[in-house]
Structures are given as C-alpha cells and as structure tokens.
Structure 1
Amino acid sequence: MEAKNQEDYCVTIPLLFGKGDVGGTNKVEKELYSNMGTTSFISTCFNCLNALSGVGILSISYALASGGWLSLILLFVIASSTFYTGLLIQRCMEIDPMITSYPDIGERAFGKTGRTIVSTTMNVELYLVATGFLILEGDNMCNLFPDMDFDIYGTRIGTKSVFVVLVAIIIFPTNWFNSMKLLSYVSASGVLASMIILGSIFWAGAVDGVGFQQKGQLINWNGLPSAISLYAFCYCAHPVFPTLYTSMRNQHQFPKVLLLSFVLCTATYSIMAITGYLMFGQELESQITLNLSTTNISSKLAICTALVTPIAKYALMLTPIVNSIEAKFQSSYNKRMHSFLIRTILMISTVVVALSLPFFGYLMSLVGALLSATTSITIPCLCYLKICGGCSKKRIGLEMMIVGFIALIGLIVAVVGTYVSLVDIITNL
C-alpha cells in the first residue's frame, strides 16, 4: 500500500444528521489511534446510531409521499444493501491491517486515484449537507416567523433569505472551533433529537387533532426516483464505519453493531415515514416540520429540536473540508488567520448556494443519488471486488455476482436519481 500523503483523513465518529457527519485530520488520527481498541459494544452501537440518525428523519415522510406506499419496500431494500456493504467494508479492512479510514480503502483498491475519488466524494457530500442545514433552518424559521421581510434601499429581502443569513451569523463562531473532539461533544444529541422529533410529531397526530386519516397513493412512478434518492440519503454513514471498527475492543462484534444499528434506525425511519404520510398524505412538505401548526406545544418542540441540531453540527461538517484545503495549501505565515479565511470563505459560499437553491427536498435528493448512493453502495462494492476478488483465497462465485449486482444498482440509482434531482432543481429555479 502506498504511503499516505498529508491530506489523508481518518473519519471521526460522527454524531449527526443523517446524514452521518464525517471528517478528520492527522491530528485527530493521533487522538483516535491512542484509544484504538478500547470502545465497548454498547458505546460503538451508540456511535453508529448517531452516524445513521439525523435530519434524514425530517424528509423520510416526504420520500414516502413521493413514491407511494409500495416504495417502503425500497426503503428496506436500500437498508439491507447498505448493511451488507457495511460488512464489505469490514472485510476489506481485515485483508490489510494498514487500512484505518475510508479513503484508505479506495487507495488500497485503486491507488492514489481511488483515494482522491473517495476523499472528493466525501467532501462534496459534506459541503452540500452543510448547505442543506442552512436551507432547513431558513424554512423552519420562516414557518415560525412568517412576516420578517426587509426593504434595504428599495431591495426587498424575503423572510427565508433573512433567516438563512441570520442563522449563518449565529453559526459562524462555532466554525472557528479546531477541535474535532469538542465538535463531537456538541453533536452528541443526534439520537435523542431524532426521538424527540418522532415523539412530538406522533403526539401532534394522536393528541393535538391532526389525526391519521390520509390514505395516500399505492405507487407514484414519477416520484419513485426521488424517493429512492432520499432513502439512500438516510444511510450514508459508511465513511465512518472504518473508525468504528478500529476503535472497538472486540472487533468480531462489529457485524452485530451494524445489524442492531440498522434495525433500530430503519424502524425509526419507517415509523416516521408512515406516521407523517398518514397525517398529511400528498400534502407533505420536504420537511415534515413545515406541515406542523406552530400553535401547539408538540409542534413547537419538534420544530425547535430540528432547528438546534443543524446549528450544532454545521461546523463539524465543514471541518474536514477545511483540513483538506489547509493540507493542500499550507501557509508559512499565520496559520490561524489562514484557517480563519478558509472557513469564512467556505461558509459564505454555502450561504450563497443556500440562497440560490432553496429547495431542501431536491438538494437532499441530489445528495442521496449522486453522493450517498456512491459512498454507501457503489464504492464499497467496487473496492471489495478489487481487493478481495483478486485474492487467491477468494473465489469468483455467487457472492461476487451479488456484490457486482448491488454495485450496478448503486450506479443506476446515482445516474437516474441525479438526473431527476437536477431536473427538479432547474425547473423550480
């Protein structure tokens, strides 16, 4: 295996959105490796649940509404496929003990080109997810305070734009944090936040008078690609799996960690999807919180929880991108100022993109199709075929055919879903 260069990353334990939060630098690697092999089974399960749980829970009902009731089958298919590709990542790591991160797997399989592709895919995904956070914040703040328009020198600034900029200003100080450990603690409420949102929305339906009377559609062929893309977005935590695996005290229990985490997350996603669809049917917004009345306490709790979580995790999403840029363009002068400028420019750019593409559902669908399906389905399969398919002890048999078929499915989802998402975005500009 070729030596790692400076921009190589390990993936820190993400405590997020959905969305899984990933990233890390050599400094983080040192901290992480010093504790390698000390994490218990329960702690690893908690970390994995946090990696898989996130803002995907807000859009899962919209995904079901897009595809219809039968699309739930595809949710389980994607969950099963991504669980299996998680196991493939473990097998790749068992082949070579030098593999400690997701980009390492890409390099072991396809050399420096593989590492570059994997790292780039991860960073682009993180950037778009951070942008999605700002859109989500603007949508929900606009729902709570709908009349906040401003006129500046004759130019009207809409309510949503005002809140996107305001939230960016609030988040900005957290973007100065260099400690991934500190940011991970800030983001440690991922699973709890998901449970609060789910409980609040169920309460709104059962107690606050919304009810569960909507029938919905059996199948919606036109919305099926978007539904699949959003389902894939919910299972995009694969870049963190190598870190979870190497940090375990008993690594042979890693498949049990994956199984338990995927079962619990899939159950949560399914309950939220069904509950939301029964409550609002085809009227579902890209975020279910936008359908809630702001007069009920349960609705306010769900919306406020959805608001707090992205604020805590935005900086965590951009940190690995900052570290990547810093590694490529190291400065011999005032490194702190250099880092500050990079973070500031990145944040301003996400604000500009959020204002230009204010479509949370379409953007998350694009991320799910173009990036999540790639990192969670296609890349693990291709790397496994390359690394393990050429081993003398491995036969090219039924398993390899299954892996190849899953990789093909991932490619189809990426191509079709990306096309549909781009068309939707362009149409709504």
Structure 2
Amino acid sequence: MGLLCYGSVGGVMASLILVFSVMWVGGVGGVGFHERGSVMKWSGIPTALSLFAFCYSGHSVYPTIYASMADKTKFSRVLFVSFAVCTINYGVMAVVGYLMFGQATKSQVTLNLPVENMSSKIAIYTTLINPLAKYALIITPLVNAIEEWLQVSKSRFIGILIRTVILISTVIIALTVPYFGYVVALTGSFLSSSATMVLPSLCYLKIFKSSRRWGLELVMILAILVVGVFIAVIGTYVSMKQIVSSL
C-alpha cells in the first residue's frame, strides 16, 4: 500500500491538472463561458444522483487504507479532507463544463474540447493517466477478497494470475460496453448507492441498538436510507431506460 499511495497522489494531481486545463481552454483557449440554460432540469435528477453516488463510492479501499496508516488517529481527518477536495473538484468541473458547452456537454467533457489547443491535449492525456494511477489502489481490496475466498493468498503465482485476469477483463468491458455516462449512472444507482448508503445504514442500525432511539441520529440515518433507496430504484430504472433507448 505504501507504493500504491505514491501512484494515488499522481491520480490526485492528474485530477487537479484536468480541471485547470479545462478552465484554461474556456478562459484562454477561445471557447469562453457563454452558455446559459435552465438552472434545474428535474428529469435529470435521478441520473445526476446516480453519478454522484458513483463518484463518492470509494468505500472498498477505506479498510485497506486505514490498516496501512502509520497514525490511524488521522483517518477521520483524511476522509474529511478527501471528501472536501472531491466535492470542490466535481463542483468546479460541473459548473465550468456547463458554462462552456451547456446542453451539448458530452459524458466526458474532454470530448467537447478543441483538439488543436495544447491545453486540450493536456486535459485529454491527463484523463488517460488518471485511471492508471488509481486502478491498482481501487482493485487491491477486490483481489485480496478473492485470494482469501479461494485461500490462495500465499501463492504468488496465483495472485499474479488473478490480477492479470481482472485487468484483462476490465479492459475488455471498457472497450465493448458503450454509453459511458449511462453505464456509470447505472453502476452508481444499482451498486454504489446500495453499498455506500443503504447497507451501511441498515448494518449500523442492526449493530448499535442505541441508534434506534428517536432523535437526530435516527432521522439522519432514515434520510440516508430514503435517498439511497430512491437512487437505487429510480436511478436504475432511468439508467436502464437510457441504455436501451440508445441501442
């Protein structure tokens, strides 16, 4: 994990460079921030919430990161800073992208950028580097779980084989499954909302009986459950409908 953390730092830097590159294209590259439109589009709320759920669904790496920290007392602070940076990053990219391209914004804003600009090329190449820097950190908990399930964690050869198969299968799925935005929304609604909102809340209520007493904590948990179920049901339906209609 110590080596993977250096790679994840590169992913963070790549995300920041991507945002600044897109802003540079809009401010200096001739695109501008002139697009206008409706402030709220209610029909897009399920898809938007599904995308948000996907963006904040890195929970699988939390136990691995916590176990590898030298000072575990700083874990809560790390989570807070990480979520704050991600929120600012997502918000800035969303606002800037919409002001630049409006309703014509594609599932990946880099597809809208004029390829002749150097800043656009930097943004596009950074988008390619970003998943490479984060892939190993995200996939490590999955590999560890598979090795423990098969009881082959001590076999280096089988470990390499499992990682190779997962990597190849990921590439094949990425190349064969189209409609990037819709697939991400479907993943966020069907899987991410369940794994990060519904199941943790239910498990918390099951484990800690004191949380079932009526109060602010219970109200917040119930609110998270309602939002999670809404995203899981409505978001999945809308995402599947969009994918089918695009076939």
Contact 1:382 1:404 in 2 (8 A): no
Secondary structure at 2:42 match in 1:
coil
What is the 5 A alignment of 1:30-429? 180-242=1-63, 247=69, 249=71, 251=73, 257-330=78-151, 335-388=155-208, 390-391=209-210, 395-429=213-247
Per-residue deviation at 1:417? Answer: 1.0
Q: Deviations over 1:185-240 (max 9, x none)?
A: 22321221111111111110010100011002232233221111112222223344
Q: 1:240 to 1:208 in 2, by over 3 A?
A: same
Which amino acid is 1:221 matched to? W
The residue type paired with residue 404 of structure 1 is: L
User: What secondary structure does 1:189 align onto?
Assistant: helix
Question: For structure 2, which runs of at least 5 residues remain unmatched after alignment?
Answer: none
Q: 3-state DSSP class of the match of 2:9?
A: coil
State how far apart, in whole Å, the 2-side matches of 1:268 and 1:351 are.
26
* TM-score, with length taken from structure 2: 0.86
Change over 3 Å in CA distance of 1:194–1:354 after alignment to 2: closer
Determine which structure has the larger helix proportion and give its number. Answer: 2
> TM-score of the superposition, structure 1-length normalised?
0.52
Contact 2:53 2:189 in 1 (8 A): yes
1:239–1:375 Cα contact (<8 Å) kept: no
Please state how far the C-alpha of 1:343 moved relative to its aligned partner. Answer: 2.9
User: How far is the alpha carbon of 1:257 from its aligned partner?
Assistant: 4.6
The answer to whether the 8 Å contact 2:113/2:120 transfers is yes
Work out the CA distance in 1 between the residues paired with 2:91 and 2:118. Answer: 24
1:245 Cα deviation from its structure 2 partner? 5.8
Shift of 1:259: 4.1
Instruction: Compute the RMSD of aligned alpha carbons.
Output: 2.7
Match of 1:124 in 2: none
CA positional deviation for 1:360: 1.4
Q: Does the residue aligned with 1:208 lie in a helix, a strand or coil? A: coil
Distance 1:354 1:360 in 2: 9
Aligned pair in 2 of structure 1 residues 360, 215: CA closer, same or farther (>3 Å)?
same
Distance in 2 (alpha carbons) for counterparts of 1:220 and 1:396: 35
Q: Which amino acid aligns with 2:106?
A: E
Mark the runs of 5 or more structure 1 residues left unpaired by the alignment: 1-179
User: Which amino acid in the other structure matches residue 240 of structure 2?
Assistant: L
Give the 3 Å change call, closer, same or farther, for CA 248–410 of structure 1 in structure 2: farther
